[in-house]
Amino acid sequence: MADVHDKATRSKNMQAIGTRDTAIEKRLAALLTRTGFSFTVQDAALPGRPDFVVADYQCVIFTHGCFWHHHHCYLFKIPATRTEFWLAKIAKNVARDGRDLGRLTELGWRVLVVWECALRGRKKLSDEALGERLEEWICGGGDCAQIDTQGIGPLAITSQPDRKSLCSGEGADIFQASPAPPQK
């Protein structure tokens, strides 16, 4: 299937995608503020430039787009055009994520990944549920974790996926979680 836009239009559209102050980051910032946490945004001194740093609790929070960071959910679809390019691009993102998260944990930071699907879409968590999960993790002092449509679960940093795992959509991304505990 061919791209519906010409090269110039596609380029313009891709340039408009911001890396900062995205809708999901704004929603998460509002929830953190509402729950009373002080934080800084996009700290360039830390590996991976975390979206939020809650220094009082020695934790960092990333908001990851399900497509860009290869989350196994209904929002991740492999593009029908330029498939090889996108698979290579996403694999590089996943490898970089693994390196950055590994370095952060080595430096003593706890890491939380909040997936886009938890913040938007038909299966998103309510503000109340998401706020409770954030507060639970930040104050609880637990290990690295992730929040998706199922709630909060452990985050294990593993190796980079290969092309086959990206194409199959099977659990081979760097973010492996055991089943989330039941919601309260």
Q: Are strands 110-115 and 145-148 parallel, antiparallel or unpaired?
A: parallel
Active site residues: 51, 63, 69, 97
> How many other C-beta atoms can be found within 10 angstroms of the C-beta atom of residue 15?
8
Taking the C-alpha atoms of residue 35 and residue 2, their distance in angstroms, rounded to an integer, is 46
Residue 122: name the closest of 78, 79, 70, 74 by CA: 74
Taking the C-alpha atoms of residue 35 and residue 28, their distance in angstroms, rounded to an integer, is 11
Structure tokens at 42: 């996009």
Q: Which residues pair with 110 in a beta bridge?
A: 59
